[in-house]
Amino acid sequence: MEKTEFLEQNIFQNLNNLNDGFDSDSIQYFSEADFETVLERIEQFGIGIYEMKPRLDEDFLDVKVNEDYRKKATDPKWYKRAFSDFKKQQANLKYSASYKVSERLLNRKSAADIANESAAQAEEEITNEE
Q: What is the mean pLDDT of each run of 10 residues along the chain (130 residues)?
A: 90 93 88 96 94 87 90 94 94 94 81 55 62
pLDDT at position 106: 86
pLDDT at position 78: 95
Distance CA 119, CA 130 (A): 17
pLDDT at position 22: 84
